[in-house]
C-alpha cells in the first residue's frame, strides 16, 4: 500500500523551555504549511522499533515477538526468523532494534526484548547476524536484573550506539518507583555496555560497592526515546512520567534524574508523589509535559530534511496521538508543534542514513515515510 496523506498543522510559537509556559494547546496560529505522511505499509500488530539494513529495506519489530523486513522498492513484507524466546506480556515483548556501527562488515543487529526466567521477567539485549533473510547465531548479551515476578510494565527500552562504540540501553523502573534510586539493580536506569554486553571500565558505578557496573544514569522512570545531538554529540532522552511529568533530558554520566523523589507528575489517582519538582543533587529536565503526552520514539532531523518551521527534533506521542516537532537551541525548547492529531499512537520516528524519515504508529499499525516540502 502506498498512499499520501496531507494534514494541516497549527503552529505554537512561544519562548521558554518549561511546559508551565509552553503549552501545546496554546495558540492558535495557522500557517497553511503542510507536512505529508506517505503510507508504506499497514496491518502490523503493535510495531515498536525499526532500523535500516540497506537503502531499500527496513527491519521492523512487533511487540508480540515478530521481526518484519519491509522492502521499499517492491512493497514486499517478510517475517525474519531466528529470534529468541520472547515473553510478550503487557508492555513487554520485542522492543527496539539497531545495527552495529560496523554492520556492513559484521552484519550484527541488536534488539531489546522481555526475557523470562524462573523468577519472572525483565529486559534483555540480544544480538545476531542478519544475512538478508534471517537472524543467525542469536546471543543474549545482557539481562537486566532482578527478574520481576508477574511484571507487565515499564520495560523501556531504546537502544543506541554512541561515537565511541558504546551501547546505551534504557530499562524502565518495572512499576516499582523505588528501584530507580537503588543502584543494586538495573531498573529505572540508563545503562552503558560494550558491544559484547559487558560493562566498560570507565562507567560511573564500576567501583561503587554493591552497584550494578552497567549503570550510566539513575532516577529514570521509563525512557522510550533516545538520540544523539548531531552537533554537540550529547545523548538526549525522553521518559514517561506518571500523570504528567514526561521529560526530555540530556544524559550525563553518573547523574541522578530524580524519579520518584523529584517529578512534575502525580499518581494516577491524583494524589501527590512528592512535593519536589527540583532538588539539589538531582538533574532537572530541560523540558517537561504536564499533563502527559506519553512520548515514544525520538529523532534529531538531518540537515537535509527541510521542516516547515525549522524544527530540529521529532517525537512521537502515544496518549496524545500526534507527532510532535520541537525547536531546540542550546538546552532550551523554543516552541513545540503538533502534527497529524488523532492518526494513531505514534510509537517510533527515525531517519535513515540518507536523511529519509520514517514513522511507526500502533492502533492502527502502520509504517509511513514523513515528507516535508
Element (H or E) spanning 104, and its range?
helix 103-106
What is the three-class DSSP state of 105? helix
In sequence order, the 6+-apart residues with CB closer than 8 A to the CB of 202 are: none
Contacts 24+ apart (CB under 8 A), 231-237: 233/162, 233/163, 235/160, 235/162, 235/168, 236/298, 236/300, 236/313, 237/158, 237/170, 237/190, 237/298
Residues in Cβ contact with 85 at an 8 Å cutoff, skipping those fewer than 6 apart = 115, 116
**HSE toward the beta carbon, residue 360, CA cutoff 13 A:** 29
Catalytic residue among 41, 100, 154, 240: 154
- Please provide residue 52's backbone torsions phi and psi, each rounded to the nearest 5 degrees: -130, 90
364: cis peptide before it, omega within 30°? Answer: yes
- Give me the helices (H) in the chain, please: 103-106
DSSP 284: P
Q: How far apart are CA 362 and CA 318, in angstroms?
A: 9
Q: Could you tell me how far CA 64 lies from the centroid of its own chain?
A: 18
Q: For residue 18, what is its C-alpha cell?
A: 518549561
Active site residue 154: yes
* Rounded-to-integer distance, Cα 356 and Cα 57, Å: 12
197 and 235 in contact (C-beta within 8 Å)?
no
Rounded CA separation 133/81 (Å)? 8
Report d(CA 71, CA 247) in Å as an integer: 35
Catalytic residues: 154
Amino acid at each position: 500500500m502506498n498512499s499520501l496523506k496531507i494534514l494541516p498543522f497549527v503552529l505554537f510559537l512561544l519562548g521558554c523551555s518549561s511546559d508551565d509556559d509552553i503549552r501545546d494547546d496554546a495558540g492558535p496560529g495557522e500557517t497553511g504549511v503542510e507536512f505529508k505522511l506517505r503510507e508504506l505499509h499497514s496491518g502490523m500488530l503493535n510495531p515498536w522499533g525499526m532500523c535500516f539494513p540497506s537503502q531499500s529495506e527496513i527491519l521492523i519489530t512487533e511487540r508480540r515477538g515478530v521481526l518484519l523486513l519491509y522492502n521499499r522498492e517492491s512493497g514486499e513484507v517478510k517475517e525474519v526468523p531466528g529470534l529468541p524466546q520472547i515473553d510478550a506480556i503487557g508492555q513487554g515483548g520485542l522492543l527496539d532494534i539497531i545495527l552495529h556501527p560496523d554492520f556492513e562488515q559484521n552484519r550484527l543487529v541488536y534488539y531489546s526484548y522481555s526475557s523470562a526466567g524462573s523468577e519472572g521477567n525483565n529486559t534483555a539485549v540480544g544480538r545476531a547476524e542478519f544475512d538478508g533473510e534471517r537472524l543467525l547465531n542469536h546471543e543474549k548479551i545482557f539481562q537486566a536484573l532482578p527478574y520481576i515476578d508477574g511484571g507487565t510494565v515499564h520495560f523501556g527500552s531504546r537502544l543506541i550506539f554512541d561515537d565511541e562504540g558504546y551501547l546505551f540501553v534504557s530499562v524502565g523502573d518495572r512499576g516499582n518507583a523505588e528501584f530507580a534510586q537503588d543502584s543494586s539493580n538495573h531498573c529505572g536506569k540508563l545503562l552503558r555496555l560494550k558491544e559484547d554486553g559487558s560493562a566498560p571500565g570507565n562507567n560511573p558505578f564500576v567501583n561503587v560497592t554493591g552497584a550494578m557496573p552497567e549503570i550510566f544514569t539513575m532516577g529514570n522512570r521509563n525512557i522510550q526515546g533516545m538520540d544523539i545531538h548531531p552537533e554537540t554529540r550529547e545523548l538526549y532522552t525522553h521518559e514517561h512520567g506518571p500523570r504528567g511529568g514526561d521529560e526530555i533530558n540530556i544524559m550525563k554520566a553518573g547523574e541522578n534524574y530524580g524519579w520518584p523523589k523529584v517529578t512534575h507528575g502525580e499518581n494516577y489517582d491524583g494524589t501527590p508523589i512528592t512535593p519536589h519538582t527540583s532538588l539539589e543533587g538531582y538533574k532537572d529536565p530541560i523540558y517537561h509535559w504536564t499533563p502527559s503526552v506519553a512520548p515514544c520514539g525520538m529523532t534529531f532531523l538531518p540537515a537535509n530534511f527541510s521542516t516547515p518551521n525549522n524544527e530540529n527534533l521529532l517525537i512521537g506521542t502515544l496518549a496524545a496521538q500526534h507527532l510532535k516537532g520541537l525547536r531546540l537551541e542550546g538546552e532550551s525548547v523554543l516552541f513545540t508543534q503538533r502534527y497529524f492529531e488523532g492518526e494513531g499512537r505514534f510509537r517510533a520516528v527515525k531517519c535513515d542514513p540518507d536523511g529519509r524519515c520514517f514513522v511507526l504508529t500502533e492502533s492502527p499499525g502502520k509504517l509511513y515515510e514523513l515528507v516535508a516540502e
